[in-house]
Amino acid sequence: MNTDDLVLENVTKRFGSVTAVDDLSVTVPQGSFFALLGASGCGKTTTLRMVAGLEELTEGTIRLGDKDITELRPYRRPVNTVFQSYALFPHLNIEDNVAFGLRQRGVRNTATKVAEMLELVQLPGFAKRKPAQLSGGQQQRIALARALVNEPQVLLLDEPLGALDLKLRRQMQIELKRIQTEVGITFLHVTHDQEEAMWMADTVAVMNDGRIEQLGAPTEIYEFPASPFVSNFLGQSNLFAAEVSGTNGADLLLTSHGERFAAPSARAHSTDGRVWLGVRPEKVRLALPGEDTPATHNQVHGVLTDTCYAGVSTEYLLRTPWGQEMSVFSANAAAGEPLSPGTEVVAHWYPPHSFVLDRRLGEGDEIAQYSADPLGVAP
């Protein structure tokens, strides 16, 4: 039996001299919730539109199962889109909006299907209203209903939750996940919100500059990022410029700014030469000088420069001997005062929590800025 995976092969899109999507190849498994994650301008929306048929490809092919849909017009593809601005037809009521696609395909009795779909998105009885009478969240659900009612093979979502406030967004994220599990259709979801992507998706593809930098399950790409960009786009990372100085069994030995560190070779994308030694802030513990710390742990001495107490956790910033700012998240598991700025501390972590990335020439200041920026501004 052929699975109806969505396959993009060498897909490229150029607008004049600008390359928006650069030789992208990816397989979206049937029935999965797949997220395309990236900052504005990375090419994720363009990719989505090419799948929908709303943009022509410059190069490459798109296949659905064994059917090549590259040249097909949007109205011939078994694919539907939920637009970022909802794009509900203002001159039609809700029922006519939702039934639009069905009627185009010649389906006669649309009333029952429409009613079912309105139930699914929890807006029963809204059939006769007009889009302008609905709130943003309600419009978004109608847009979803309008697309889903056609039972497409792939449902495309273009940042559908962008315009909603936080609470509603959370609610809709749960809803969408529930609906996708219930209905079993492939969802291709485009977003710039990394939390949203990790929450909802089975697989996340992180895009940057028209290419996919890393693809995998949320835990996979979070715990073991493949590049400095991914390490700081998803959550935050501390990155130390280092050199590989040798091996010790299954571990890599690294030197950074005169200090020695270890990390498992299995957690390294590059095993010699110039590298980045990375560790997530929540994996780091703080100890006062003189306190016992496990001998195998990597250690960095430093002075606290800032403390942000947030109730659930505290974020500490400390300055390393070589002038880099390092960030540490500490869950407030025990009651007690947070440490104050000016305190000398030892930051330490369990070596397998590190990750090692390749460090390319010239990747200096730009990356150093990531570590120094506690807000984790995406590049």
Partner 1 sequence: MTAIVGAAAGPGPTAAAEPPPPGLRRRRWVPYLLLLPGGLWLLLFFVVPTVQLAGTSLYDRSGSLELGYTQTFAVGNYIDAITAYWPHLVRSALYSGIATIICVVLGYPLAYAIALKAGRWRNLMLVCVIAPFFTTFLVRTLAWKSILSDSGPVVGFFRAIPFVPDDFRLLATPAAVVCGLVYNFLPFMVLPLYASLERLDGRLLEAAGDLYARPATAFRRVTLPLSMPGLIAGTLLTFIPAAGDYINAELLGTPNEYMIGNVIDSAFLVRLDYPQAAALSFLLMATILVMVFSYVRAAGTDEVV
Partner 2 sequence: MRFWRWVANHWVLVVGLLVLAYLFLPIVVVFLLSINKPANRLSYDLSPQWTFEYWLHPFGAAGIGDALRVSVGIALVATIVATVLGTLMAFALARHRFRGRGATNVLIFLPMATPEVVMGSSLLALFVTLRVPLGFWTVVVAHILFCLSFVVVTVKARLATLDPRLQEAAMDLYANEWQTFRKVTLPLVLPGVAAAAMLSLSLSFDDFIITNFNSGTTVTFPMYVWGAAQRGIPRQVNVIGTAVFLLAFVLVVVVQLRGRRKARFV
Residue 249 interacting with partner 2 (CB under 8 A) = no
Here the tokens at position 292 are 């016992």
Residue 80 interacting with partner 2 (CB under 8 A) = yes
In whole angstroms, give the CA distance from residue 313 to residue 328.
Answer: 10
- Of the candidate spans 97-105, 267-275, 293-301, 360-368, the one that interacts with partner 2 by CB under 8 A turns out to be 97-105
Residue 49 interacting with partner 1 (CB under 8 A) = yes
Residue 56 interacting with partner 1 (CB under 8 A) = yes
Residue 101 binds what, of partner 1, partner 2, none (CB under 5 to 8 Å, by partner type)?
partner 2
Residue 15 binds what, of partner 1, partner 2, none (CB under 5 to 8 Å, by partner type)?
partner 1
Min separation Cβ 62 and partner 2, Å? 15
- In the complex with partner 2, the residue whose CB is nearer, 105 or 128, is 105
Residue 83 interacting with partner 2 (CB under 8 A) = yes
**Beta bridge pairs of residue 293:** none
Nearest CA to 204 out of 182, 224, 174, 179 is that of: 224
Q: Determine the residue type at 249.
A: G
In whole angstroms, give the CA distance from residue 364 to residue 270.
Answer: 17
Residue 286 interacting with partner 2 (CB under 8 A) = no
Residue 138 interacting with partner 2 (CB under 8 A) = no
Looking only at residues 37 through 76 of this chain, which bind partner 2 when binding is defined by CB under 8 A? Answer: 52-54, 73-76
Residue 126 interacting with partner 2 (CB under 8 A) = no
Residue 128 interacting with partner 2 (CB under 8 A) = no
| Residue 53: burial class (beta carbons within 10 Å; 0-12, 13-18, 19+) | buried
Q: Report the 3 state secondary structure along 202-265.
A: CEEEEEECCEEEEEECHHHHHHCCCCHHHHHHCCCCEEEEEEEEEEECCEEEEEECCEEEEEEH
Binding residues vs partner 1 (CB under 8 A): 15, 49, 54-56, 73
